[in-house]
Amino acid sequence: MKHPNKHDLLVLLTEFENACRKADLKVTHQRLEIFRELAQAHDHPSAEMLYNRIIKRLPTISLDTVYRTLATLEKHGLITRVQTLESQARFEAEMIRHHHAVCRKCGAITDFSWNTFDEVQVPAELSGWGRITKRNAILEGICNDCVKGN
């Protein structure tokens, strides 16, 4: 999972505008900035982290707007809320299937793809469970920075 370059980001933002219009969401300055910031982030930021980054460019934005916008975009499937053990929710704009390695020490979330896992068949035990729409692997451990930094 690499950062989007300047061109990619423009494409993403255009797609985002179109998706908003399709979903009857107004394309506001705030929504664009929140989405842009999240799309170029690589660290699965929390609402507060995004707020602190965006306020530098958009000094009047409110934390409430960031929370509200993230909830709206999540509801419309434009961004994802990431499961963590932390108290603050974290988000990402990367919608391509991928998985997470999480550092128990510093909380860093690293993206990776894992085709082998994506293709493993779900156990029979679960055949009667219901309708499965998503599968994710979460690896937990201590990242290299934290191992060294000890």
Partner DNA sequence: TCATAAGTAGTAATAATTATTATTTACAGA
Partner DNA sequence: TCTGTAAATAATAATTATTACTACTTATGA
* Interface residues toward DNA, by CB under 7 A: 20-21, 25-31, 46-48, 58, 60-65, 67-69, 71-72, 87-89
- 3-state secondary structure at position 29: helix
Select the span of 12-20, 27-35, 52-60, 130-138 touching a second copy (CB under 8 A). 130-138
**130: left (phi > 0), else alpha (psi -120 to 50), else beta?**
left
Residue window 105-144: x/- pattern of binding to Zn ion, with contact defined by CB under 5 A:
xx-x----------------------------------x-
CA distance 118 to 115: 5
Residue 125 CB, shortest distance to DNA, in Å, is: 29
CB-based contacts of 37: which residues, under 8 Å, 6+ apart?
45, 50, 53, 54
Q: Is 92 in the site for Mn ion (CB under 5 A)?
A: yes
Partner that binds at residue 105, options Zn ion, DNA, Mn ion, none, CB closer than 5 to 8 Å by kind = Zn ion
Q: Is 76 in the site for Zn ion (CB under 5 A)?
A: no
Residue 33: CB atoms within 10 A of its CB come to: 20
Question: Which own/partner pairs from 124-128 qualify as long-range (CB within 8 Å, at least 24 positions apart)?
Answer: none
Q: Is 122 in the site for a second copy (CB under 8 A)?
A: yes
Binding positions for Mn ion, rule: CB under 5 A: 92, 111
